[in-house]
Structure 1
């Protein structure tokens, strides 16, 4: 079975600010100019191999519709899992695959934090809330962020994983492909480690489901 997987972080249309990318040409950061170039890159990958599955990250609301149109005109089906906030364009992930080549068996779009059994934590009482507020107050006065418990923070993340089980129409082989955008919590590496663990577990479950189908 011949298959090509293309994965690409397109950088959300709301996050390409010249104030952040200070060493780059501001004209190159303009979302209206970047989008056609991104589509050209995707088109070039299609020319390399039509039997390609595309995994995209940081797809915003503003760009999702254009991506849908682009792939639909080329015989692809696309699914999205958008979960962000207003400041980042409600960005998320997307998967696209050619329906002429692959039959769709199953699609799963899940908030990854909802798929894990998190370790139990003590319920907060009235006095524990008072103590927590008192501890956080000095940090607020100094303009510093209070350190969050990594397990609590990991559980609160909204990041979505999109996965699909496909069946090759030629060979009859079923397989799974998923895409995920890791929380950009570089200040809290434990959170990223926890999500890597959850993602691997979810991927294994999806692969097992694919093997069962085939």
Structure 2
């Protein structure tokens, strides 16, 4: 493992390993930062660390079955976590935390304040997980807070409502349906949840900060952290939330460079990972969420993000999570934590982590928490440099709100259909509707084509335009939620 200066060598913190004052070194990632160049640090360099601290309410002996009660003790773990964080705070690192329980958040506020750090956090869980949430801490001596947003991510999307009749029937028969389903599930396993409904009901919050580098007045950048819903059984849910997170963050950041990190709960190469690093996901992908009728939002992003670890080391860490919990047949060991950067940020180096084989050889293998690792996740961090050009990948200066999933500019994010602006990533939906209308026009036996009442006014307008192109007539009928559009073969009652 290479040694280099960077913003300061990452040292293994001295922790109280046995709870009685005995010190020792910690964690499998205690090596120095690997540098991509040998340049001296500059004023616009930043260190960013991301760490899932493991909620104090989820660290139970009857759940983490292979871990000792001493290493699961919340007070002992909190002391160890603080000392590990101090090793990063010594060099003025920005800290992104996940699974911060309500009990720990109060202590961490005092801890950060005592070290001249500002801590912004939000809890959103439940009593079982200690109302855990996410947080970002930054040193007041190095950064000025320009803007902050705390958002329930599922609220950033306009969800297509169920038809009114469906909702009314469900309200009447829901108790009977639940009883029947519970009896049926005893015979056969329940079907997987609907990805859209599951994604909508998730309460996970995202924190976004715009910070100014005090050493370089006027130099601003965006920092965001998120804890992805752990829905590995329905990966499409994580694809939806990944797209929502990037759309939200990239929209707010505008032309500022972006650092986006956290516990993403997906593995390298998974669909959600490729959505971020490739900047898109094929509709043929196994876990591409099947479109909902009347909703033309799609899982897209403005531009791809780069992984700091992959750029510095050629690959993601072998693992950032090593755990064995009740119900598992074997240890889970894989990479779930990431640090992504946009154009306008140079990766100087990352905190190297041991591989599984190295951890075993060194006697520091999991499952965690252990006396070497206070969480079941390992902290990741990177030295980064803000480039004067800013986020060159983002070329949108003006924003226009729309229901197509992102906010894009008239200049580069739209293609024009007649007098209506249409997001380019919605073209597949437009083609689908156009094909449906073309088949209708060619079918001599069918005189009318009715569309669902769930369509919005601008979507009905698009159908009017497509009908006009095909020589069809169209008319919107009804009012409110019952308003719908019909296409006709004969040019009568056309309503534009």
Q: 1:191 corresponds to which residue?
A: 237
Q: 1:23 corresponds to which residue?
A: 66
Map 1:201-212 onto structure 2 (within 5 A). Answer: 201-208=247-254, 210=256
- Give the Å deviation of 1:188: 2.0
Q: 1:126 corresponds to which residue?
A: 168
- Give the Å deviation of 1:23: 1.3
- Give the Å deviation of 1:106: 0.4
Q: 2:154 corresponds to which residue?
A: 113
User: Does 1:138 find its partner at 2:176?
Assistant: no
Unaligned residue ranges in structure 2 (runs of 5+): 1-43, 258-389, 391-496
User: Does 1:92 find its partner at 2:133?
Assistant: yes
Map 1:1-214 onto structure 2 (within 5 A). Answer: 1-47=44-90, 49-50=91-92, 52-123=93-164, 124-130=166-172, 133-141=175-183, 142-143=185-186, 145=190, 147-172=192-217, 173-208=219-254, 210=256
- Give the Å deviation of 1:146: 5.7
- Give the Å deviation of 1:12: 0.2
Higher helix share: 1
Report how many aligned residue pairs link the two structures.
210
Q: CA RMSD in A?
A: 1.9
Per-residue deviation, residues 125-153 of structure 1 (Å, max 9, x unmatched): 43344565555433312455564321111
Distance 1:77 1:128 in 2: 47
CA spacing shift, 1:15–1:168, aligned 2, 3 Å: same
Distance 1:210 1:96 in 2: 20
C-alpha contact (below 8 Å) 2:192/2:234 kept by paired residues: no
Distance 1:119 1:209 in 2: 31
CA spacing shift, 1:125–1:167, aligned 2, 3 Å: closer
Q: Which one has the largest radius of gyration?
A: 2
More RCO (CA 8 Å, sep 6+)? 1
TM-score if structure 2 supplies the norm length? 0.40
Distance 2:82 2:109 in 1: 11
Distance 1:88 1:146 in 2: 26
TM-score if structure 1 supplies the norm length? 0.90
Unaligned residue ranges in structure 1 (runs of 5+): none
Per-residue deviation, residues 23-68 of structure 1 (Å, max 9, x unmatched): 1122101111111000010011122x22x11100000110001111
